[in-house]
A and B are shown apart, each in its own frame.
Chain A
């Protein structure tokens, strides 16, 4: 008894701490509770980024009996090099290390396969993995995270702290079989939810059209931005080529670069709107005032030539993109006032869009202007802008002269869904509403009679300006004769603009004018997004062109679902519902094959006359054929050069027509 008592006393006094520690180690587990990274939503609440739990695997090499066998099985399942894995395990085992990562954030299938191996000493641990359900969609806006879930680009980086949340910690009591029976601790605070101004559908349309344009023009890259001018909300911001943020590690830094606000370019003619708006605002001109355009103008140090000649009204001069007129207006304004308007439109300053790496552009103060700068700046040379800056400037005109700072984040919500932060963009007046209205009218003429006829829309009025700028050759420091930036920036409808769209194509091959390469992209985008945004047409549907042949097109029967929906809509709202519907179109491409594009269109019944499709693009021809219910067999690429049947021949819906496309004819 004495011995037992003595032993008990010894254990309870001098060994108490050690024994208590040992007991705690055996009985208690500390489980870190990872906070789930917040969601990123588009303006309609559709998810752009979400974190899900996945398994990672680690090994305790001390427990692995046969390292080679384990490495062989694991390498096969995890698709890693067996030799290097075996070497790592053996080295850790020799060094008596108890932890080696085998694979991080594996997919469900791999996870099951690893667990199926039942290798002693291999354990799973749950981690969060960031997933982007739309793949490359809005990749440059959303950004991506690293392996440790830290934001490395886009809003993921800008709002990393808010998205991350606070991890929790749980102390778990376990029994001899390591089964938990009690726990206490702090719960994790999930990250906040970010609601963007981006609209997923608009973004998709913009990306699709931009990518098609970059491929078609063989441009080095392209950027496009869509802004709601009234709110400054960016509805879409796209770059091409894009990348998949689900696999951002394997993407080059160039592809990840957000050209829409990190690249500056000389805007060229799209910048002329500053000189025009300044002159209108200062009452130096009226839209109908005549400007003499002799074809060239001398400025200190050089002579600036012009393709537009004669006595033109200010509206005509803008429509024809006269350099001389813009320079003359710049001269009337003077350096100081011109510079003032440039800055008031937001050039030379960051727009404040919530993305990392935005550049302020390049606008030198007047003190650093050369004597000949007045011959350059009004026509968009000697300045560097970003596409977002240019879109914001045109949004100012579209918004009756009030500039609302463009922004991407609508609100931030906490984990319970309560709004904790709401964007309040700064706004200020740049020019009067009257000046803005006059400018809108002048810019509309650019699309109707000027350099941007390809920007006309189907059913909507449109206004905008083309820009074709020569790039500066980094070797010679002179303007390149082969490298251009073609751009178009515009808005629609003219009187009540719902969207400002800028399209910039960098180094297109062949046709490089903004009116040829960028304006059609504007048209394609606007034609699709305006109906989506519930914008009422303000123009005759066939105003865009006889091209679209809408008047001639038969109206195919509505599909059953369409009829049902139309009936339902009519019943519910007493509405007039259009019964115009377009037939099914499916495009299949066979690269390398002789037939580059085949369009299948559903057949109608009535006969019609074959329209003249020569000179049109594959896309335009496909659309016309689809509208007419013709089956198109397209050969070659470029513009339509020959067609069978001939123009004016009687064709029937469902009939096959052969169109040959070519370049340079």
Chain B
């Protein structure tokens, strides 16, 4: 489309609509919008990625701390249930180590030597029972 200089108005000249130019403009506009949207999306993704990165790193460190804490707590459990501690606690509860006199065979026949776990009972007030955990 040729442009007519403004200082030479010519009312008889009619500007014709050029559908191709309109299409080109629309396409250009759409492309620009798509590009901009892409940039915005990519930027948002990047920001989200960094944000998730921060969160992931924080969680990773928290996990390490919790694992450490778990190890410390397990250690405390072990310390609290050491045989010496258990014996002390058992004795405070009035218990004593099991003696042979406190064992009887549950099965009809008295077993000789080592007996299976299900056949032997120790009177419950024994440190041996407690200490077996």
A interface residues, Cβ below 8 angstroms from B? 36, 44, 46-47, 50-53, 126, 131, 133-135, 137, 172-173, 179-183, 200-201, 203-205, 457-460, 493, 495-496, 498, 527-528, 530-539, 541-542, 550, 558-559, 561-566, 569, 573-586, 602, 626
Closest residue to A457 on the B side, CB-wise?
A: B100
Contact of B113 among A498, A574, A576, A578 (CB under 8 A): A498
In the assembled complex, the Cα of A459 lies from the Cα of B101 at a distance in Å of 7
Expressed in whole angstroms, the minimum distance between the Cβ of B87 and any Cβ of chain A is: 8
Closest residue to A48 on the B side, CB-wise?
A: B78
With A52-B71, A577-B121 known as contacts, the answer to whether A495 contacts B98 (CB < 8 A) is no
A residues within 8 A CB of B132? 44, 201, 532
Q: Are A580 and B57 in contact, with the CB atoms below 8 A?
A: no
Q: Does B3 reach chain A (CB closer than 8 Å)? A: no
- Looking at B53, B110, B119, the one whose CB has the most chain A CB atoms below 10 A away is B53
A residues within 8 A CB of B74? 47, 50
Closest residue to B70 on the A side, CB-wise?
A: A52
Expressed in whole angstroms, the minimum distance between the Cβ of B132 and any Cβ of chain A is: 7
In the assembled complex, the Cα of A201 lies from the Cα of B97 at a distance in Å of 11
In the assembled complex, the Cα of A527 lies from the Cα of B98 at a distance in Å of 9
Residue interface bits B97-133, CB-to-A below 8 A is 1, else 0: 1111111111000111111111111111110110111
With A46-B78, A561-B93, A585-B96 known as contacts, the answer to whether A578 contacts B83 (CB < 8 A) is no
- Rank and list the top 6 A-B pairs by shortest CB-CB distance, nearest first: A459-B100, A496-B113, A565-B124, A575-B106, A562-B125, A204-B83
Q: Does B62 reach chain A (CB closer than 8 Å)? A: no
Contact of A531 among B78, B79, B95, B98 (CB under 8 A): B98
Q: Are B57 and A180 in contact, with the CB atoms below 8 A?
A: yes
Q: Are B114 and A134 in contact, with the CB atoms below 8 A?
A: no
B residues within 8 A CB of A44? 132-133
Contact of B103 among A137, A578, A583 (CB under 8 A): A578
Expressed in whole angstroms, the minimum distance between the Cβ of B64 and any Cβ of chain A is: 8
Closest residue to A534 on the B side, CB-wise?
A: B120
Expressed in whole angstroms, the minimum distance between the Cβ of A412 and any Cβ of chain B is: 20
B residues within 8 A CB of A36? 71
B residues 68-101 touching A (CB-CB < 8 Å): 68, 71-72, 74-75, 78-79, 81-84, 87, 91, 93-101
Q: Are A528 and B97 in contact, with the CB atoms below 8 A?
A: yes
A residues within 8 A CB of B110? 536
Given contacts A535-B114, A536-B120, 5 further A-B contacts (CB under 8 A): A50-B74, A52-B72, A536-B103, A541-B100, A584-B95
In the assembled complex, the Cα of A182 lies from the Cα of B57 at a distance in Å of 7
Q: Are A200 and B120 in contact, with the CB atoms below 8 A?
A: no
- Looking at B87, B113, B115, the one whose CB has the most chain A CB atoms below 10 A away is B113
Q: Are B53 and A538 in contact, with the CB atoms below 8 A?
A: no
Q: Are B114 and A46 in contact, with the CB atoms below 8 A?
A: no
Q: Does B42 reach chain A (CB closer than 8 Å)? A: no
Q: Are A459 and B103 in contact, with the CB atoms below 8 A?
A: yes
Closest residue to A170 on the B side, CB-wise?
A: B60
Q: Does B54 reach chain A (CB closer than 8 Å)? A: yes
In the assembled complex, the Cα of A340 lies from the Cα of B105 at a distance in Å of 43
Q: Does B36 reach chain A (CB closer than 8 Å)? A: no
In the assembled complex, the Cα of A390 lies from the Cα of B7 at a distance in Å of 125
Closest residue to A207 on the B side, CB-wise?
A: B83
Contact of A580 among B105, B123, B129 (CB under 8 A): B123
Expressed in whole angstroms, the minimum distance between the Cβ of A167 and any Cβ of chain B is: 14
A residues within 8 A CB of B71? 36, 50-53
Contact of B78 among A50, A565, A583, A585 (CB under 8 A): A50
Expressed in whole angstroms, the minimum distance between the Cβ of A424 and any Cβ of chain B is: 22
Q: Are A536 and B99 in contact, with the CB atoms below 8 A?
A: no
14 contacts across the A-B interface (CB closer than 8 A): A133-B79, A137-B83, A183-B57, A201-B128, A459-B103, A493-B112, A496-B113, A498-B114, A528-B128, A531-B102, A532-B97, A534-B114, A581-B102, A584-B94
A residues within 8 A CB of B114? 496, 498, 533-536
B residues within 8 A CB of A133? 75, 78-79, 82
In the assembled complex, the Cα of A542 lies from the Cα of B11 at a distance in Å of 136
Contact of B57 among A53, A172, A586 (CB under 8 A): A172
